Amino acid sequence: MKLPVADGPTLRRHTGVLLRRHRRPLIGVVLLNALSASAGLVGPWLLGRLVDAVGHGADAAYVNRTVAILVVAVLAQTGMVRYAQRSALVLGETVFAELREEFVTTVTRLPLSTVERAGTGDLVARTTTDVDRVQHTVRFGVPRVLVTVVTIVLTVVAALATNVLVAAALFAGAPVLIVVCRWYLRRATPAYLAEGASYATISGAITESVEGARTVDALGLGSRRRARLNRDIGVAFQAEKRTLWLRSVLFPGIDLAFLLPLVAVLAWGAHLVSTGHATIGAVTTIAVYAVQIAQPIGELIFWLDETQVGATSLARIVGVADVSPDREQREARPDDEHVVARGVRYAYREGHDVLHGVDLDLRVGERLAVVGPSGAGKSTLGRMLAGVHPPTGGTVTVGGVPLVDLPLDELRGHVALVTQEHHVFVGTIAENLRLAAVNADEEDLERALRAVDAWDWVEAMPDGLDTVVGSGGAALTPAQAQQVALARLVLLDPHTLVLDEATSLLDPRAARHLERSLSAVLEGRTVVAIAHRLHTAHDADRVAVVDSGRIAEIGSHDELVGAGGEYAALWRSWQSD
């Protein structure tokens, strides 16, 4: 399952909105470019007049005057081109900056469940390859398209004004151009889409291999991963070959279309001169226009090609906004802190339930340990209880309201999930903490850090709370990073916490210290601890044994040991170790 790609109408609507938002600068760019292009048209026109004048016996003074005007026109054009192109580039930069900001906002709001299902590779490809391509198109392509279109239109108008009959020959290349371009454009979009998708697959495969490098090594999957990557590269190669073939028809076709008008103007023009319908000067002017117009047309077509690439990438970027939210906010507000799961089912892939109707009634303030074999569905259940994913069946409610009906920021004030993955964001420690509580003042931050026993080292940092951390800033140890994450929890102040093996990755010394920080956070809250080590289960008020997506047993440690079931067996085998 991939993330959605915007369709044609959506993309056009999006582009339309974007352009309308910049209508004034856009008009400015067009006007400035029209001025500079007009200055460029003066030269051939003067040349044509000169040819006719000399033919009628003009003197040297006339020639000098013409040359002087020509020099002025060239200088004026040089000056105007600078401003015209600058205005176009500024517009391109502005539009791109806006697009990028919109995209970041969309990406950070994506429902986690969708991203996990689609695989991170797809999203990574969109944020890297596709953004790069759109950047190229918008920053350089859009300005050049504006410039060339204005130049082409004005050149044609000037040619028609000079002599309509001769100017008609300018269109001799048009049929070839239209046929070739239509042939190309019709095939380009799917071809470039396929190319983009093949890159996404490659970067997905590489990301997975790198992230799971240890597993790949341990299981000796290296050659399989390489074979898979080779296959993906093969697909990308075929996709590249296809787009190359499209271009290898396009470009020669265009060259032919460029030469035809010049030949036609000269031949048809000569005929018109002989019948007295045109002057040699007019033919000269239009012949020079025919040469001059080739460059902007060529550039326009080049950018049309590039724009195809950019448009398909833009479709992939805009498409991300089409991900439907995985939850709907409702008005109902929980009336207590009681979390209950009823008949909860979940399938990562349709038809493959990993939870088969779990019922769980959390007592407010209790500590529940969840144990069971790996792959039994403990983490999945934890995610359901924390409202990370909407269940595919059944409900998880807090105070009678389904978790997934609550707005995300409110949900986090009720239930939070603590995992081994903790991230330090680039920014100050204070900013890292305020992610959980935007309005927290320095005292709140200090209190939170003290609660997790982290204030001492934060105070000792060069700028205290204002020390910049994350990549490029001060490096935090994994234990410190986890403490910052815990302090965020204190600020968030949820009444229920789901701990997914929160401290098991750390070295034992750090883990003991952290466990103290953690206990401080757990104080007075309902806690679901997904446990790998049975001694943590022993300390809990109740233990739930999860097996094959069901709760097999639930009760206090003593009850379960007394019952002589699965937990009793686990406990006996653990103790005899």
Q: Which of 432, 381, 415, 309 is nearest to 544 (CA)?
A: 381
CB of 259 to ligand ADP, least distance (A): 58
CA 576 – CA 554 distance, rounded (Å): 23
CB of 16 to ligand ADP, least distance (A): 38
Q: How far apart are CA 468 and CA 430, in angstroms?
A: 9
Helical residues (DSSP H) of 212-221, grouped into ranges: 213-218
C-alpha to C-alpha distance for 84 and 29, rounded to whole angstroms: 6
DSSP letter string over 243-302? HHHHHHHHHHHHHHHHHHHHHHHHHHHHHHHHTTSS-HHHHHHHHHHHHHHHHHHHHHHH
DSSP string across 511-554: HHHHHHHHHHHHTTSEEEEE-SSHHHHHHSSEEEEEETTEEEEE
Residue 545 forms beta bridges with which residues?
371, 553
- Taking the least distance from each CB to ligand ADP, the nearer of 137 and 379 is 379
Q: How far is the CB of 92 from ligand ADP (least distance, A)?
A: 40
Output the smallest distance, CB 433 to ligand ADP, in A: 29
Cβ closest to ligand ADP, residue 261 vs residue 377: 377
Q: Which is nearer to ligand ADP, 260 or 385 (CB)?
A: 385
- With a CB cutoff of 8 Å and minimum separation 6, the contacts of 501 are 419, 420, 530, 531, 532
Which is nearer to ligand ADP, 190 or 373 (by Cβ)? 373
Nearest approach, Cβ of 380 to ligand ADP (angstroms)? 3
Is 386 or 448 the residue whose CB approaches ligand ADP more closely? 386
Q: How far is the CB of 114 from ligand ADP (least distance, A)?
A: 12
CB of 228 to ligand ADP, least distance (A): 18
Q: Which residues bind ligand ADP (CB under 6 A)?
A: 116, 348, 354, 372, 374-380
End-to-end CA distance of the chain: 45
Please report how close the Cβ of residue 566 comes to ligand ADP at its closest, in angstroms: 14
On whether the CB atoms of residues 124 and 318 are closer than 8 A, the answer is no
Which of 294/530 has CB closer to ligand ADP?
530
What is the DSSP code (8-state) at residue 86? H
> Whose Cβ is closer to ligand ADP: residue 318's or residue 386's?
386
Residue number, 384 or 404, with CB nearest to ligand ADP: 384
Q: Is 20 exposed, middle or buried (0-12, 13-18, 19+ CB in 10 A)?
A: exposed
Contact between 384 and 344 (Cβ < 8 Å): yes
